[in-house]
Amino acid sequence: MKMLQQVLNGAVADRPPVWFMRQAGRFLPEYRAVRAKATFEQLLTDSDLAAEVTLQPIRRFPKLDGAIIFSDILVILDALGCGVTIPEGGPRLGRTLDQIPLDQPLDERVWEPVQVAIRKVKAALPAHVTMLGFAGAPWTLLAYGIEGKGSKSWSRAKAFLHQEPVKAKAWLDRLSDAAARLLNLHIAAGAEGVQLFDTWAGELDPEDYAAFSLPAVERTLRQVEGAPRLFFARTGYLPDALNTLPCEGLAVPWQVPMADARRRFPGKVLQGNLDPLALLAGKEISCAKARRIVEAMKGAPHVFNLGHGLTPETDPGVVAAVIEEVKK
Write out pLDDT tens, residues 290-327. 999 999 999 999 999 999 999 999 999 999 999 999 99
Indicate whether 12 pLDDT > 90.
Answer: yes
131 DSSP β-pair partners: 67
Smallest Cα–Cα separation from 197: which of 172, 179, 222, 211?
A: 179
Write out pLDDT tens, residues 25-60. 999 999 999 999 999 999 999 999 999 999 999 999
What's the pLDDT at 251? 98
DSSP 35: H
Indicate whether 87 pLDDT > 90.
Answer: no
Write out pLDDT tens, residues 95-119. 999 999 999 999 999 999 999 999 9
**Which whole number is the average pLDDT over 264-284?**
98
pLDDT band at 88 (very low <50, low <70, confident <90, very high): confident
Indicate whether 154 pLDDT > 90.
Answer: yes
**Which whole number is the average pLDDT over 78-91?**
92
Euclidean distance between CA atoms 287 and 178, whole angstroms: 39
Smallest Cα–Cα separation from 53: which of 85, 79, 26?
A: 26
Percentage helix, strand, coil for the chain under 3-state DSSP, each rounded to 5: 50, 10, 40
**Which whole number is the average pLDDT over 4-30?**
97
What's the pLDDT at 217? 98
**Which whole number is the average pLDDT over 238-259?**
97
Whether the pTM exceeds 0.85: the reply is yes
Indicate whether 286 pLDDT > 90.
Answer: yes
Average pLDDT, the chain: 97
Strands 249-251 and 84-85: unpaired
- What domains sit in the chain, N to C, each tagged with a CATH number? 17-228+307-327 (3.20.20.210)
Smallest Cα–Cα separation from 319: which of 63, 2, 8, 34?
A: 63
- CA distance to 53, 69, 250, 313, per residue, from 31 (Å): 6, 14, 28, 13
**Hey, which residues are catalytic here?**
22, 26, 35, 72, 144
What's the pLDDT at 55? 98
Burial class of residue 147 in the structure, from the number of CB atoms within 10 Å of its CB (0-12 exposed, 13-18 middle, 19+ buried): buried
What's the pLDDT at 89? 82
